[in-house]
Structure 1
Amino acid sequence: MVSWPTPPLIRNVRIPTHPEYALIGLFIPLLVYFWRQRSRSTVSTIITRIFVHPIKSCRGTSVPAWEYTPEGLKHDRTFVIVDKNTHKTITAREIPKNRRDSQGTDTRNSFSKRNYYWRCKDILGTSRRGCQELDKVSEHNNCFSYSDESRLDDIQIWSHTTDGYICESLEQGGLDPSGALSKYLERDVLLIRKGPTTRHLKPTAAFPALQGSAVFQDGYPILVASEESLVDVQTKLSLSAAGVEGWKINGVAGEWTGELVMERFRPNVVVEGAGKPYAEEEWEEISFTTTERSGRASSEYGRMLLVSRCTRCQLPNIEPSTGIQHKHVPYKVLAKYRRVDPARPYTPCFGVNAVPQESGVYRVGDTVHVRRFAAAGKLPEKEVIVKN
């Protein structure tokens, strides 16, 4: 055994040999790793907002609680508006920017929201007396009728083809949903409800064996974003608006005075409390707990895989309350510093795509628990560009 000199203030202590030093050298990094994992997982993060968008590319509705399944929030993107002849999906970008509603507020025969961003509850109100707020509607087929004869099998969702049913009014002789939409948009369209054919999810770099399905979402069932990430974008936007060196963008500097709201990014579940922006990109699996009246936390529920970053097109440039599109905000601001996905190096990212692993109810105020973090240097990679 090799003898090592003992420090002056230490007596009767055997100093480890070289092999023992090696074991300690391996053990300490493991302790540090587990301590960091435990510290990160105990940060109090909660759900602050929940948004459901029953009609693809239409304005969503904020709800305090909502059911979910492995295909996403119940009724989220269950409907889509397509061209009557081509059956191709119609998005907000295809509607003229100067299109405005001038038919009053009678939601039984017209739509009271500007441009393409109607509230879905207004659309539901056109079909049947008694269909009120979206969060009071238990099933969409209480409002719409559809049959096998109305099924189409060539509905085009970007590169995908799937099936759906043409929605019809339950009122005899009443204006059907497709007719109401066509009248409002001044073009022939159909309101389609998703059919039974499964739309399988694409695997991602982080989840090469990913299983699951979606309805009319572009890629994955749920989009998760954080309040901290939104604040970060708002901060960078303020720098651009002020013309700060390195952040100046023509058309933004000295001109932008508006507010950037989360609704532009069309998330489903918004969280807060992780302590830094884009923390959601470091999560690979999360779950939730509800604080019961007794003050005790419920058992964990709602296990969710965060499978990829969400790369963005320019649709968030549309202000949802007015339908007016800005040429640069927030897309060009994001493009300055959020092109962080190796799979899409020229496209900015905001939010994370997620896949629920069970069914249940999400509630605002529920606590988020990080069950597993993404491997260092291998953050989720995106496979499709979100366009809705």
Structure 2
Amino acid sequence: MRLHRNLVFATIDALSDIFNEGKYADKVIANALKRDKRWGSRDRSFIAETTYDIVRWKRLYAEIAEVKEPFSRENLFRLFAVWATLRGIELPDWKQIEDTPTRRIKGKFDSLSQIRKFKESIPDWLDELGVRELGEETWTKEINALNNTAPVVVRTNSLKTSKENLKEEFLKENIETHSLKDYPEALELNERANVFRTKAFQDGFFEVQDASSQQVAHFLEVEPGMRVVDTCAGAGGKSLHLAALMENKGQIIALDIYGNKLKELKRRAKRAGAHNIETREIDTTKVIKKLYNSADRVLIDAPCSGLGVLSRNPDAKWKLQPEFIDRIKATQSEILDSYSKIVKSEGKMVYATCSVLPSENQEQVEKFLAREEGKNFRLIKDQKLLSSETGYDGFYMALLEKTS
């Protein structure tokens, strides 16, 4: 593989923004790919995948390269040299990476790979937290799985097409997919491709949604004609899935504290042909109080640490702090106490997170059921999805019923 200078320099610039400026990797990479219109799909893939790789393995590569943050431009090239060497890519004789000790890089990699926090490239505190919550063996498997690149999975929009027809539509654009057992609407791409440029996307035939995330709407046991409230709807991936499962019949009220996300949901709903979704911004407590005891089903897709989705957001490892996890757990408790009041008698509620930590998941549910606010609820079932077992995102979901 021959390295092209302009692609490498774009990667270095992106890394500088992510590591030194604290910018989000997905936004930085999206901007980097717009720099030169002459770049083809292979060039763009190189920038995106290389940047994500170096972000994912930052701690390991920095240890091998013997550099510390904030990274100078020279040190970013050192990280790049480590990445290239470990992939067997011959380094060009550029002054930025001359005299790279390739043999020493491989030797240090071998020795550091014996230590989990370096091998899996995670902060000390996160490694300790994972062991404390999941146990040594499960955490070792889980963090290893979460360091794999996430597959691209789409959810067929049954309001507009069938899975078989969507598969055919993709084939017309040379995109091969395969069905997933136990995931009724899911197709996984055999190779990564930009599905957002396809006619099928413009026609609203699918949404990109991880296989684990696709389980949540099914877990809520909705039926056409129900009144459903999605309390933390965001840009609406699960609201759209609920609309499809309800065959556009009944009402979905999508709530969020961020109005801009709900605007995106409206755009997506229009494209998907989902007509039974109404958005409401939570700008005062009255928005929630007006809905008390009114919904057949309530979804609480709670804000969380996001540890179950590290494979698609590797920079989250470096942005997360222990204090944030403590704060988010307090928020989860408050949300459960408040939003559970929307469920009407004999209605059902799902509490879900994209975290693998029991303290954000089953322990939150147990504490809720033990509090005054949860005394009229019972746990019907819950499900813990570990990336190491499924190959997809880590998720948790619990189905609760209001007894009176």
Query: If the TM-score is normalised by the length of the shorter chain, which range does it land in?
Result: under 0.3
TM-score (norm 2): 0.26
Q: Which has the higher contact order (CA 8 A, sep 6+)?
A: 1
Q: Which of 1 and 2 has greater Rg?
A: 1
- Greater per-residue helix proportion: 2
